[in-house]
Structure 1
Amino acid sequence: MNFEAVKSIYIFEMARMRRTLLQSVVSPVLSTSLYFIVFGAAIGSRIEEIDGVSYGSFIVPGLMMLTLLQNSISNASFGIYFPKFVGTIYEVLSAPISFFEIVLGYVGAAASKSLILGAIILATAHLFVDVEIRHPFWMLFFLVATAVTFSLFGFIIGIWADGFEKLQLIPLLIITPLVFLGGSFYSIEMLPEFWQKVTLANPVLYLVSGFRWSFYETSDVSVGVSIAMIAFFLVVCLTLVWWIFKTGYKLKA
């Protein structure tokens, strides 16, 4: 493996986080703080506990997952799209580096940024509510697996997009609504029976539910199903990335 090439891509992408610190770190932290203030004051006063967990603490995993998904996708999609936009992607493709090493550099950097941000969000949450992590290993598993999987998904979006507006199309119109409707701020048991069944078709529900279980041992679906779902997403994304490089989809002039 060409570790120097992977390292170069990784360091270059991570440097962009330092250059855009206000947008990459400060903005998500402020947004999360506002969620705690607004939801804690407006809804928390009416909902004291859910499954024995205070409402403010209950929404922490959902907020972390919301931030993680959005940033994993945006970091990875912009990271690969910009070289396409300026034409430098052909220099990368012609270099003595395999497609696996290219993906490892770009996706590794995007996932790292998201994990750093997730840690900052978790630290911010401690300022507002009491947070308990009963299964640290599984919390890290869901955190890392989700960051890697959706960074791969963002990488695919970055290759598919042929304009800056398309980079935001799927995250804004599909991912964000799915997160909000996937039990991030409530338990699906609070919904009527019909809507509970509808919500089970939302793939993000399984990610949020499994992640919340690692904190408080409470979940809307089986933890085993959540693990299987994230593994399925990962395999699908890896397969699509392999197909893209095999066929040269939107990479060959």
Structure 2
Amino acid sequence: MKILILGGTAEARELAGRLVAEGHEVITSLAGRTSDPILPPGALRMGRFGGIPGLSAYLRVAGIERLVDATHPYAGMISKNAVAAAQQTGVRLVRLMRPGWEPRVGQEWTLVETVAEAAAALPPGADVLLTTGHTGLETFLERDDCHFVIRLIETPALPIPQHAELLRTRPPYALADELALMQRHGFTHLVTKNSGGGQTAAKLEAAAELGVKVIMIQRPFYGPAMEVDSVEAAIAALELG
């Protein structure tokens, strides 16, 4: 069967490997935001589709029989476009979405819907570990009454002001390293998105142990789809037999 995976996550790579091993023709599409991505098994497509019309056309022309949205939980329009394109073409869509994180018992997170709300929730003088990615970075940096350590895989396009510093690194992150980082910088706040998964979860455990306050940007709603939370469940939901 010919399967298109909208990828960029560890789950997408694992799924591609499993499907290729089973003999399916797998194409993984990457948006190209990371200059040196970890490549999945199977064929690869780089770049955007051109909205709903472009994705729909690709599904038809390429003869795609199954579509898997295994993008990051905050990937944006591509997940919404996948829903619409699947509806237009009749291609079966499965959304592979890792479970979200939950606070520890007794721990309270400040839950917000947007980057703007997260930036506004920071008190003056906050020392912040910022792990929200490139999108909306300028909104946080407008808060020149706070100090930020911005952790990213890639250097952002915008300049880093004096009240911020860039930490370029790639997950996974160990608990001991996260504890050391937070203690070294004396962070008062962690601002992040509820990405889920184990590769970056240690920051939340470290924050709980050290009393660092967590501001969590909640996941957006991408529209109706067959949604699963594991590679095994995705394979079953694809109905490949």
Instruction: Tell me the TM-score normalised to structure 2 length.
Output: 0.25
Question: Using CA pairs below 8 Å that are at least 6 residues apart, which structure has the higher relative contact order?
Answer: 1
Q: Which has the higher strand share?
A: 2
Give TM-score, length-normalised by structure 1. Answer: 0.24
